[in-house]
Amino acid sequence: MSIVILLAIIGILVAGGFLLAFVWAVKSGQYDDTESPAMRMLFDDSKPVENDKE
Amino acid sequence: MGRKCVHCGEDCGPNPVMWDGKPFCCHGCKTVYQILNEKKLDKYYEIQPMSGIKIEKADVGNKYAYLDLDEIKEKLLDFSDGDISKVTLFIPAIHCASCIWLLENLHTINPGIIASNVNFPQKKVSITFNNKAVSLRQLVELLVSIHYVPEITLDQLGNEKKSNSNRDLLLKIGVAAFSFLNVMLYNFPEYLPGGDQLSGLFTKFFGYMSFVLALPVVFYSANDYYLSAIKGLKHKIINIDVPITLGIFTLFIQSSYDIFTGRGIGYMDSLVGLVFFLLIGKWYQSKTYRALSFDRDYKSYFPVAVTVIKEGKEETIPLEKLKEKDRILIRSSELIPADAKLLKGTAEIDYSFVTGESLPVYKKAGEVIYAGGRQVGGSIELEVIKPVDQSYLTQLWNQEYNKEKKESELNNVINKISEYFTIAVLSVAFAAGIYWLFNDKSLALFAFTSVLIIACPCALALTVPFTFGSTMREYGKRGFYIKNTDVIDNLRKVDSIVFDKTGTLTVNRSMKIEFVGEKLNDEQLKIIKSLVSNSSHPLSITIKEYIETGSVYDVENYKELPSLGITGIVNGKRVNIGSRKFVTGKDDDNPVSTNVYVFIEDKILGYFKIENQYREGLKEVIENLKNKYDLYLLSGDNDSEKENLLRLFGSETKLLFNQSPTDKRDFIRKLKKQGKRVLMIGDGLNDAGALLESDVGLTIADDIYSFSPACDGIIDSRKFFILHKFIKYTYVAFRIVITSFVISFLYNIVGLSFAVTGTMSPLVAAILMPISSVSVVAFATTSVKITSKRYFERA
C-alpha cells in the first residue's frame, strides 16, 4: 500500500508542472488577450513577404 | 440606392469615385484601397468584405508634429533601446478580423516597422519599429493614412503603466485550484466507508501534505480578503470579508491542530475549496469592458500639444507647458485648449461636445473663447488668458469628488447583512461553546470552532458577484455598459432622475426638417442643393441631406457670410440662403425653431423649419419612469422647446432652461442635500460636473468607444428606448440577491445544527460547503439569465 505515497508524490509533481506552466503562461501575457489569437490563427500564411526580418 | 463602397461599405450615392473598376464613396476610401492594393494587402477585403472605416478628412498637415518632440516621445514609447522602439497605441477603429490582419502586416507597407501586435479586446496595437527608418510621427501618420487613427491623449502620457491586476488574480486562482484538487484527493479516502481504518501512516502523510498545500492558499491566494477586512474594520465597518477572514483562519488553525496532534485530517479541503470558489466569484465580477473608459477627465479630450507663435515663428509645445499670455495658433478642426482671447481671424466654434449644441458659435476678434470648443472655420490666433487646468470648463470636469465616500456607501446592504450575520454567528458560537462547557468540556472548543467554520459566508459572498456580474453582462449584451457591479445597487436606490436635453433626449446632429412656404419644384430644389453643397455649416449639411435630387449645378460667385448665410449664382439665378435677417432684411422674431430662409432670383420662397429631433421611444421611457421617480430636465438651451417637453414630462416635473454647466452641478448638489438619490443622464462635457456630483451618472453615446465624460455607465444611444428597463431591472437583480441570501441561510441553518451539537465532521463540511456555494452560484446566474431575457424581450 505504501506505493500510494509514491503515487501521491508523483501526482503532485505532475500537477506542480502544470501549475508552473500556468504561471508562465499568465506571466508572459497569454491571458491578457484571449480574443485576437483566435482570429489570428485563421489567417492564411500566404503573406506577401517582401522584407524578411533581419 | 447606389453601389456600396468597396472599402467601407457605405452607400456611394449616384456618383461613386471609381478606381480599378470598383466604386468608392469618397476619395479617402479610394486612397486607402490604393495603398493596400499597391502593397498587395488587398486580402484585407477578403477576410471581411467592406471592413474599412470611412473618414471624411484625411488631411493631416502638421497635426502630428508634436510627435517629433523628445519629451512627448519619451512618455509615449513603451521603451526605446538604440534603434529599436516600441509603442502601444489605442485605436478605437479596430473592430474586426481584417483590422487585426492589416495592422499586423504593417511591415509590408513600411519596412521600418519590425513587428506589430493587436490586442483586440483593448483595441490596442503594439508596434516595434526601427526609429532610424521611421519616426513615431511617420508611423502615426501612416496609421492615419489607412484610416486607423490612433487616439493619443494627455491622459496616456501622464499615467504610469498600470500594473496588471488581472494577472495577479489569475495566478491566485491557479494556485488555489492546484491546491484544491490535490488536497481533495488526499482527503477523499477518509470519506469512504472504512476510511477511518486507514493506517496512521497515510493519515499523517496526507495530513502534512494538505497542510503544506494549504499554506500558499491561506497566505497568498486569499490575502485580498484579509486586507479588505482590516480596511473595513479601520472604518468601523464589518464588511463581508470579516466573517470570511474569521472562517478561513478558524478553519486553518483547527485543521492544523487536528493534523499535528494526529486527531484527524482536518478541513483543509473545505478551506482551499472555499478560497477557490471565492476567487472565481471575484474573477467573474471583475471582467469588465476593458476597451471602454469611464474615468476620463479633460486630459483625454484635450490635444497633447499646441502650436504657439513666438517671435513670429510657429513652434509646437506640449500642452502642459502652455502659459498665460502665450499666443497660440488653432487650425481648422482643432480644439481650443485654454480660455483665450481671439486675436486674429474669425472664430467659428463648434461647442457640440461641450454643450450638445450642434450649431457653431461665431466670435469676433477681442472676444473670449472658452476652452473645449472646436474651431471649424479657418486658422485663428488666440492669446491664452487662463492656464489649461484653470479654464472655466476644465475646472468643472476636474473637480475633486469624494471617491472614497462614494465607495464606502456601496454595498451597504450587503455590509449591513454581514454585520448582523457576523454578530449572530459569534453569539451562536459562544452560546454553543458555553453550553458544552457545562455539559461536556471536551466538545466546547470544537463546537465553538465548528460554528465559525460552517457559518463562513462563502455562499453569501458569492451571491453578489455572480448576480450582479451576470446582470452586468446582460446589460452589456443590450447596449448598456457599466463601470462595475456596484453601479447596479446604486442605480436601484435612485429616486430622482435628471436629464440633460440636447444630445441626451434629442438626437445629436440629426434634425427634423420641413419646408414652410410654397411647394418647391424640382429645379428649385436642385438649385438649393447646389448652393448648400458648398458650405460645411451643419444646417447646410442638414438641408443637403434632406433634398434627394441627384446632380447639382455649378455655383458662381459663392460667398459665405459668417452667422448670416450663403449666397451665389446658380444656373444664372441669384440665390440667398440663410437667416431671416440676411434673406428678408427683417429681424428675427424669436421663433421656436431654427429657420433657414430661401431666396431665389426675385422672391423669398419660404423657409426650412429645422427642429431638434427627440430620441426614438422617449415618450415611452418618460411614461414608464414618471410614476416612480422625480424627473427633472436641465437644458443649456433656451426654452423654445418647453411646450413639447411639458407635454412629455407632465406638469409636476421641473424643467429648467438656460442652465450653465455650473448650474447643473449645483442643481444636483441641491437635490442631494434634500436627501434625494440622484441619477444624472447626460452626454457632453457640460454635464461632466453634474455626472460626477450625482449618485449615478450615465452617459449616452453614439459611439461608445469615443470620448465620453467621466461616468458610471455608458448607454448606447440606439438603446435609449429601453432605458427604463435598464433602471428597473436593478430591482429584479436585487430580488435575486435576496433570494440567494435566503438559500445560503438555509444551508447555514443545516450546518449550524451539526456544529452546535458538536457532531460536525470534515465530511459534513466537505459536502455542505461546496454544495451551498455551487447551488447559490447556479441559482444566481441562471435566474439572471432567465429573468433578463423575459424582462428585456417583453414588449
DSSP B746-761: HHHHHHHHHHHTT---
How close A26 gets to chain B, by Cα (Å)?
A: 6
Residues in chain B: 795
Query: In this complex, do B41 and A34 lie within 8 Å of one another by their Cβ atoms?
Result: no
**What is the pLDDT at residue B552?**
75
**What is the pLDDT at residue B729?**
92
Query: In this complex, do A27 and B40 lie within 8 Å of one another by their Cβ atoms?
Result: no
Compute the average pLDDT of residues B98-125. Answer: 84
Q: How confident is the model at residue B598 (pLDDT cuts 50, 70, 90)?
A: confident
**What is the pLDDT at residue B177?**
94
Q: How much is the ipTM here?
A: 0.84
Which of A14, A42, A43 should one mutate to test binding to chain B, selecting the residue with the greatest count of B CBs within 10 A? A43
- Cβ-Cβ contacts under 8 Å between A and B: the total is 80
Helix (H/G/I), strand (E/B), else coil: B460: helix
Residue B238 and residue B228: Cα distance in Å, rounded? 10
Q: How confident is the model at residue B79 (pLDDT cuts 50, 70, 90)?
A: confident
Partners of A33 on chain B (C-beta within 8 Å) are 119-122
Contact (Cβ atoms closer than 8 angstroms) between residue B617 and residue B600: no
| pLDDT surpasses 60 at B57 | no
Q: Chain B contact for A24, CB < 8 A?
A: no
Q: In the structure grid, which three cell numbers stand for residue A9, read together?
A: 508524490
**What is the pLDDT at residue B634?**
85
Q: Considering chain B, what percentage of its residues have pLDDT values greater than 90?
A: 8
Residue B499 and residue B511: Cα distance in Å, rounded? 20
Instruction: Say if residue B727 is exposed, middle or buried (CB neighbours under 10 Å; 0-12, 13-18, 19+).
Output: buried
The bridge status of strand B496-500 relative to strand B678-682 is: parallel
Partners of B182 on chain A (C-beta within 8 Å) are 11-12, 15
Residue B480 and residue B474: Cα distance in Å, rounded? 9
Residues 6+ apart with CB under 8 A from B783: B736, B739
Q: Chain B contact for A15, CB < 8 A?
A: yes
Q: In the structure grid, which three cell numbers stand for residue B90, read together?
A: 489605442
Lowest mean pLDDT among B137-141, B261-265, B507-511: B507-511
Residue B110 and residue B136: Cα distance in Å, rounded? 12
Partners of A4 on chain B (C-beta within 8 Å) are 202
Q: Quote the crossing angle between the two packed helices B241-260 and B412-439, to the nearest 10°.
A: 40
Q: Chain B contact for A25, CB < 8 A?
A: no
Residues 6+ apart with CB under 8 A from B260: B211
Contact (Cβ atoms closer than 8 angstroms) between residue B600 and residue B573: yes
| pLDDT surpasses 50 at B761 | yes
Chain B nearest-CA residue for A12: B182
Contact (Cβ atoms closer than 8 angstroms) between residue B719 and residue B427: no
Which of A1, A51, A52, A53 should one mutate to test binding to chain B, selecting the residue with the greatest count of B CBs within 10 A? A51
Q: How confident is the model at residue B16 (pLDDT cuts 50, 70, 90)?
A: confident
Query: pTM of the prediction?
Result: 0.75
The residue with cell 450653465 is B660
Contact (Cβ atoms closer than 8 angstroms) between residue B209 and residue B186: yes
Query: In this complex, do A47 and B108 lie within 8 Å of one another by their Cβ atoms?
Result: yes
- φ and ψ of B628, to 5 deg: -95, -25
| pLDDT surpasses 90 at A19 | yes
Q: How far is CA B659 from CA B242, B427, B636, B691, in A?
A: 46, 56, 5, 15
Lowest mean pLDDT among B224-228, B585-589, B683-687: B585-589
How close A50 gets to chain B, by Cα (Å)?
A: 7
| pLDDT surpasses 60 at B401 | no
Helix (H/G/I), strand (E/B), else coil: B9: coil
Q: Which residues of B lie inside 8 Å of A (Cβ-Cβ)?
A: 39-41, 43, 47, 97, 100-101, 104-105, 107-108, 111, 114-115, 118-122, 164, 166-167, 170-171, 174-175, 178, 181-182, 185-186, 199, 201-202, 205-206, 209, 213
The residue with cell 503544506 is B212
Q: How far is CA B143 from CA B97, B102, B331, B369, B381, in A?
A: 17, 11, 21, 32, 29
Partners of A44 on chain B (C-beta within 8 Å) are 43
CA angle (B352, B356, B358) in 5-degree steps: 50
Please tell me which residue, B358 or B560, carries the higher pLDDT value: B560
Q: In the structure grid, which three cell numbers stand for residue B756, read together?
A: 452546535
| pLDDT surpasses 50 at B410 | no
